[in-house]
Structure 1
């Protein structure tokens, strides 16, 4: 029996065009691929989405950066309503679409967990990205603090770490109370007219199967990868 190909691939490395061409949709780091490579993938029928972070910055020091740093990845948190940051993000969105990307994958949207006062400002930033993207496909990572308004601005939502996560000791399922909380959010998502995906982290068949089966129960297509999203 042939293994079913996942509906989307999240790959944060470079190259591997032949492998990526096997997927209907891919999420890529736009700086890692030139216009010719994107054109190659599109010629193979692949729908290419460019990664775009909306509340964290890994670039050089800038006025919009906060003092606080994401402890997991090292990026600086930002003031999402800073005019310079808004211009920076909108410019990145325009550049990716001009390079041939079919749409955008919006990451770092869960500011309700870090700076809840920024939720309305982040929603305004998502709206600004939508305004310059016209009919491009926009996929949001979480962003639950902006629901249901977020659903009016994007085409799909990814529930990252829906069932399984990475920890200091490896990969593991969430404890029962978190799984139940995530289930409640998933039920809310089901009432919206969006494409729904779960992105889980696992390194063994048992945990992988658990994540895929659980996502299906909530109407989500599940993609399982490693912490660095280095699998194709």
Structure 2
């Protein structure tokens, strides 16, 4: 019996990935014949795509600030050159054999809220130009409810459990869990698939995350901080 979804940022592992209905992968890590093999086995492949951060070389769309955790440069989402760059990445991923796309770095409501409307415009352009079979958005709660009209599913990353630093994991404090529950109740009102991605290093924390996700209608995958575990 297959499992709903996996997030894996390594390469290979086709046999293990074949055990899932959907898999989110780094777009550059899988050649066409491997994507085709997964497709033949009934796996829907989603390529990773960042919409508000850029890990590439210096570019005119970069802001001076960078993500302190991962190092990518924040971008001006409405810069036409960034829009063209992202749409080209999306189109290339679909042409390379991916079925759909996983849209990351959508949480701008606390940092650059003025870019939220531009994010919706960018997602609409990706849908129209790349024509993915499936779009999965990571969080993006500041874009609700309009986001639900543009994507097929929403992921609640770190819904119940989180990585504290590079080597330790823990459940969220009770006040954060309550806040997340309120958002989850909003998501349940939308016509989208719901998923949770949590981080854990013990069976106890994994069971807690999976059990809590089920309570809110989410299909849950649990991994480590860098998504190297299937």
Task: Output the TM-score relative to the length of structure 1.
Answer: 0.96
- Measured after TM superposition, the shift of residue 135 of structure 1 is 5.4
SS in 1 for 2:49: strand
Q: After superposition, where does 1:103-114 map in structure 2 within 5 Å?
A: 103-114=100-111
d(CA) in 1 for partners of 2:113, 2:177? 22
Question: Are 2:39 and 1:42 aligned?
Answer: yes
Q: After superposition, where does 1:86-165 map in structure 2 within 5 Å?
A: 86-134=83-131, 136-165=133-162
Runs of 5+ consecutive residues of structure 2 not aligned to the other structure? none
- Measured after TM superposition, the shift of residue 5 of structure 1 is 5.0
Tell me the equivalent position of 2:63: 66
Q: Is the 8 A contact 1:102 1:137 kept in 2?
A: yes
Report the more deviating stretch, 29-38 or 132-141: 132-141
Tell me the equivalent position of 1:17: 14
Tell me the equivalent position of 1:212: 210
**Runs of 4 or more consecutive aligned structure 1 residues displaced over 3 Å after TM superposition:** none
Aligned positions, number: 229
d(CA) in 1 for partners of 2:114, 2:140? 14
Alpha-carbon RMSD: 1.1
- Measured after TM superposition, the shift of residue 57 of structure 1 is 0.3
Tell me the equivalent position of 1:200: 198
d(CA) in 1 for partners of 2:188, 2:108? 22
1:172-205 CA distance string (max 9 Å, x none):
0111111111000000000001100010000101
Q: Is the 8 A contact 1:139 1:157 kept in 2?
A: yes
- Measured after TM superposition, the shift of residue 20 of structure 1 is 1.1
Report the more deviating stretch, 187-196 or 38-47: 38-47
1:82-102 CA distance string (max 9 Å, x none):
011000000011001111111
Runs of 5+ consecutive residues of structure 1 not aligned to the other structure? none
Tell me the equivalent position of 1:178: 176
Report the more deviating stretch, 132-141 or 156-165: 132-141
Tell me the equivalent position of 2:79: 82
d(CA) in 1 for partners of 2:92, 2:206? 36
- Measured after TM superposition, the shift of residue 21 of structure 1 is 1.5
- Measured after TM superposition, the shift of residue 18 of structure 1 is 1.6
d(CA) in 1 for partners of 2:102, 2:132? 14
Task: Output the TM-score relative to the length of structure 2.
Answer: 0.97
d(CA) in 1 for partners of 2:219, 2:163? 20
